[in-house]
Amino acid sequence: MTDGTPGSDPATEAAAPVTTDDGAATDGGETVVSGSSAEGEGSTRESPAVRRTKAFAARVRRNRLASGGLVIMSAFVFVAVFAPILAPYDPAVVDVPNRLQAPSADHLMGTDRYGRDVFSRVLLGARIAAQVAVATPLVAMSIGVPIGLVAGYVGGRTDDGLMRLMDAIFAFPTILLGLTLVAVFGQSLTNIVLALGIVFIPQFARITRGSAVSVAQEEHVRAARSLGASNARILLLHVLPFCISAILVQATITGALAIILESSLSFLGVGVPPPQPSWGSMLRVGKGYINSGEWWYSVFPGLAIVASVLGFNLLGDGLRDVLDPRSDPNR
């Protein structure tokens, strides 16, 4: 579980207040900008943004890490969507006489304390994890990106104020903030996604701000401004596209962290409320059966978490690879 961008580019003084900033986006954004200005200069009618995106997608496919990550994630999404069909047993059906059975041909991952099939519950758990992993970055993005755009573009006092607010949120250790927010909001899947989304707003804000600051100085942006284009238009058409790739990377990272954070909260008992089969709450119960030998209860849900998070991290690494091969730690 990390608080910032895992092993990414070194923090630079350039874009943001030198604190716990990750400069990933800044460099990433700059690279893409410089890379494409050579490509896009006056060649086709496609807007630079679209061309960039296409080239980007191609590079992603070629990169082993990213494609590996995509494979895992596709499997993850597939399981999440089709879980009820894939599950051999109805995960809610109890069978007390058959409780706490070891893994067997009948029950691939054994049964839990009520006799429910663990494998089926793990599959269903993917649904919760998937929802969390997708919705959390969306929430964080939808608030963080506009904040970053405005802050970076407008600058001055607005920038200061907004970034202070971001710093205030960022000042909380992640799980602590998550815990407190859930304690306040109450436990439900929606509230958890909301709480986690809030936790990750600052990262998106910073990344976007970094790009926005540098783009705001660009020639064509100033030109557009002087021609009287509305700020909103500028932000959307000129500034935002430059941030997209960095935002994407951050989104995968956030997705991974969200899964870990949600399962941590559920493990502590303040996450997704039972009887929903969150992997974290399964582990919470499973931990109690270590001493009596029912190891499957605490191993399999954990493996599921590792697998899905790994998928996101692989994808994130691969994307970063594609964006900025120079400073990628895996080269």
Show contacts with another protein in window 93-112 (CB under 8 A): 93-94, 96, 99
Query: Binding another protein by CB under 8 A: which of 270, 319, 322, 323?
Result: 270
Q: How far is the CB of 220 from another protein (least distance, A)?
A: 30
Q: Between 8 and 211, name the residue whose CB sits nearer to another protein.
A: 8
CA angle 189, 22, 63 (to 5 degrees): 80
Q: How many whole angstroms separate alpha carbon 243 and alpha carbon 239? A: 7
Applying the rule CB under 8 A, the residues between 133 and 172 that interact with another protein are: 164-165, 167-169, 171-172
Sites for another protein among residues 111-130 (CB under 8 A):
113-115
Applying CB under 8 A, which part among 34-42, 52-60, 147-155, 289-297 lies near another protein? Answer: 289-297
Binding test (CB under 8 A) with another protein, winner from 17, 84, 88, 325: 17
Position among 81, 176, 223, 236 found at the interface with another protein (CB under 8 A): 176
Residue from the set 210, 264, 277, 323 that interacts with another protein by CB under 8 A: 264
Q: How far is the CB of 172 from another protein (least distance, A)?
A: 5
Is 71 a binder of another protein (CB under 8 A)? no
Number of residues that bind another protein (CB under 8 A): 75
Q: Compute the residue count for the chain.
A: 331
Q: What is d(CA 74, CA 121) in angstroms, rounded to the nearest whole number?
A: 19
Nearer to another protein among residue 138 and residue 172 (C-beta):
172
Radius of gyration of the chain (CA): 22
Smallest distance from the beta carbon of 237 to another protein, in angstroms?
Answer: 33
Q: How far is the CB of 257 from another protein (least distance, A)?
A: 9
Q: Does 190 bind another protein (CB under 8 A)?
A: no
Q: Is 51 in the site for another protein (CB under 8 A)?
A: no
Residue in 110, 241, 286, 318 binding another protein, rule: CB under 8 A: 286
Q: Please state the three-class secondary structure of the chain as a single string.
A: CCCCCCCCCCCCCCCCCCCCCCCHHHHHHHHHHHHHHHHHCCCCCCCHHHHHHHHHHHHHHHCHHHHHHHHHHHHHHHHHHHHHHHCCCCCCCCCHHHCCCCCCCCCCCCECCCCCEHHHHHHHHHHHHHHHHHHHHHHHHHHHHHHHHHHHHHCHHHHHHHHHHHHHHHCCCHHHHHHHHHHHHCCCHHHHHHHHHHHCHHHHHHHHHHHHHHHHCCHHHHHHHHCCCCHHHHHHHHHHHHHHHHHHHHHHHHHHHHHHHHHHHHHHCCCCCCCCCCHHHHHHHHHCCCCCCCCHHHHHHHHHHHHHHHHHHHHHHHHHHHHCHHHCCCC
147 or 305: CB nearest another protein: 305
Residue choice 66, 256, 322, 323 for contact with another protein (CB under 8 A): 256
Near another protein in 26-45, by CB under 8 A:
none
CB-CB neighbours of 63 under 10 Å: 23
Of these, 6, 40, 103, 155, which contacts another protein (CB under 8 A)? 6
Phi, psi of 40 (to 5 degrees): -85, -10
Residue 254 binds another protein (CB under 8 A): no
Among 101, 208, 263, 278, binds another protein (CB under 8 A): 263
Q: What gap in Å lies between CA 174 and CA 327, rounded to an integer?
A: 26
Kindly state the smallest distance separating residue 231's Cβ from another protein, in Å.
27
Residue 84 in contact with another protein, rule: CB under 8 A = no
Binding of residue 89 to another protein (CB under 8 A):
no
Least distance from another protein to the Cβ atom of residue 239, Å: 26
